[in-house]
Amino acid sequence: MNKKLPGVFANKNTGVIKNNEEKYYSGNDTIKNNDNTMNNTIKMIMVRKKINDLFSSDSFIYKVNAIVTTLEGDKECTLIAKNNDSLLTINNESIPISEVLDIRKL
């Protein structure tokens, strides 16, 4: 039973094998970026819904007192109108809807 194996089947590699190196896969980064994009989209939809709810409520006749949170900070203002991309205050100030982070009625 002590037959020698033919040279074809003999293992010639007797050194240290390093085939368990760690690799970095960046696929999770793209998933996180997609999550952030979806979160921003959902936030924008929620802000637009809040604005539509303010202007379609029964208490809105021609103006509504609200606190608008924008990229610059909180503003207490009286809103009188809205169009597709901005809100108009009683002081003739235009607030872009894309900059609005949150809005609530006083």
Element (H, E) at 78: strand 73-82
Q: Cα–Cα–Cα angle for 52, 57, 61, nearest 5°? A: 105
Cα 67 from Cα 72, distance rounded (Å): 13
Cα 23 from Cα 89, distance rounded (Å): 56
Indicate whether 2 pLDDT > 90. no
Cα 63 from Cα 68, distance rounded (Å): 14
Are 80 and 63 a contacting pair, CB within 8 Å? Answer: yes
**Residue ranges of the domains in the chain?**
61-106
Comparing 30-44, 53-67, 68-82, 92-106, the range with the smallest average pLDDT is 30-44
| Confidence (pTM) | 0.65
